[in-house]
Every structure is written in C-alpha cells, then in structure tokens.
Structure 1
Amino acid sequence: MDTVSQVFDPGASSTIGLDIRNASNVAVDSLTIQEPKNAPADAATLHASNPFTITDFAGFDDVSLPAGCEDVQVDAYVFADSKWSWVSGTPAPHRRGSELPAGVSNGEVGGIRITCTGDMAPGQTISVDLDLEQRATHRNDSSDLSTAVHRVDNVTTGEAAAEGQDPATDDGAAS
C-alpha cells in the first residue's frame, strides 16, 4: 500500500492498491486479501484503523487475478441492523472478479475481501486497486472532517491456503 496525504476535499479521489502473492514453492487452493484486517462481525463502529471511516468505496480498478483462479468471491463489510458484518458474495468465474455482493452498493462498503479459489502456482498474484472518495464526515460519528487532521493507520491482511496445510498469512500497513 502506498502512503499519501490529502487535503480536505470531499469527493476527491484516491486509491488503495492491494496485492497478495503465492510466495510458497507449491500451488495453493486459495488466495484471500482483506481490507481492512480489523473488521470483526457485529462491530458497532468501524475500527480506527479502517480507511472507510474517512473515505467511501467508489469501485474497483486494475483488477488482476492469478492464473489458475477458477472462481472469485467478493465479500463486503456493511452496516445493517445496528452492526457491521460481512455480506458474502457468490463465487463466480474469475472474469467477474470485481462485483460487490448482490444488494450492496458502493456507499455501504466498510471493507472488502476478495478470495480466489483454484490451483494457483507459486508466484501467482491477486492485484486490485480500490477507488475511494473522501468523505465530508466521519462514518462512525458524523463529525466534520474539515476541523482536524485525520490519520488512519491502515492494516490489510492476506492469506494463502493449500489443502492439508496451515494457511500462511501476512499483513501490510500504511498510514
């Protein structure tokens, strides 16, 4: 993830670039990347490390899925019934890898998780840019974002898994 400062300008665009690579020496059955790492089910508010507290998801860009990815599933972290929870997408052929789950709109997103399943050789990578737009108010409390500097210490997590093996995880951070 690249670190960028931005002045207050609601609607201004920015991007979070994400990727996960099979760094092992064997094929894996799944690769997953989640933005942000701290997105537990049934949370009352978004964690302070969540970039969606001060930005809105505007869409996917430059999506690249690994060779061997047969199906891709996009899950979205959304607020419903007074809590944040994951809405699971439907696994679909990899060429449809940039669609939110049915019924979820861009403005509802407080997190994204992308999972590819198949037979992905060493070195294969999921790479995606999340297009964002700056919010005028903080998502948790509706406070005016123009009145102070806001810093998000963002952490993203990824996982590679192969049948019969413990999954390997790694985190990336940016502020």
Structure 2
Amino acid sequence: MLSRTLIGLVAAGAAALGMSTVANAEPQPAPPPPPPNVNVLTPVKPSEFAAMDGTFYSFRVADGVTCVLNRTTGGYGCSGALPAAPNAANVVSGGQIGAPGFSNAAAPIYDGLAADAKPMPAGSRISFRNVTCGFDGVVTTCQNNFDQAGFVLSPAGSFILNATNPLLDRPEGTNPYFN
C-alpha cells in the first residue's frame, strides 16, 4: 500500500513538473506572412530601367531605397534605409538560386546606380531571368522563380523568403506527384 501511494505521488509530481515546464516554455514566433504575389503586378518595360550601359536594371522604391537586377550575374538586391530590417541592415542581396541575406555596408553599395534609378510605379514589377521584383506602393518583394526564395521589404517587417521548390528539395522516398 505504501509503495502504491509513493508511486502515485512520484507520478503526480512528475506530471506537475512536466506541466510547469510546458507552461513556461517560450512560444514559437509567428511565421512571416505569405509574400505578396508579384506576378499579379503590371510588368514594366525593362529597357526603361536600364543603367550602367545596360548591365543593370535599377529602380527606386519608397524612402530612397535603390534596387537592382544585375544582367551579367543575375544577382539582385536593394540598399538604403530598408524598412524594419533585421539588425538595422541596409543591404539585402541574392542570386538566381537560393535565399538572399541581409547585411550592413559602410557606404551605399548601389550608389553609382542610384543617380540613374527611375522610381518604380506603384503596382508594377520588373523581371530578368529567374528573378522578379515588384512594388505595390508600400511593399517591395523580390523573388526567384527557381526555388521561390527572395525577400520582402515592408514597414510592418522585412524578411527573407526561404521557400523551396518541392520538385528539387523533398524528403527521401517521397514523390511530389503521388501521395
């Protein structure tokens, strides 16, 4: 009888301890909102945004942020006072494949292109190779169509899109066409 009582007390104590650990656990941060669909925005004529003898497409968005698409490497990015960027980053850049990243630069890295950068009209997008960048009037989104990685610059919070292509990155032994 004593051993049953002892076992019951130990089990109740362990359950209470487990419950307090769960109750005190830090909640997971909310995932970022889904990115805006840049493909619904109106395409612009890329040649109107050509800079540096046509090696770049450059454009300006809200608050003096300059964005570029490099026609030689396929790289893309924005620099300037990025709204609500992590660690007060002033640069975000990426390539044709893979996730971009935020960083800080001592001087504007697209300074030579900023003078020629034409404002991107609200509700417009520009594309080159795998990358499309769009501006809805408030939010700037750049995304590659290979693995859907990219970034969102928004006053509500700027973040990286780390999406993956289910045809290329899937768990071993799975098939995207069959369940």
- If the TM-score is normalised by the length of the shorter chain, which range does it land in? under 0.3
Greater radius of gyration (CA): 2
More helix, by proportion: 2
TM-score (norm 1): 0.26
Relative contact order, CA 8 A, sep 6+: which one is greater?
1
TM-score (norm 2): 0.25
More strand, by proportion: 1
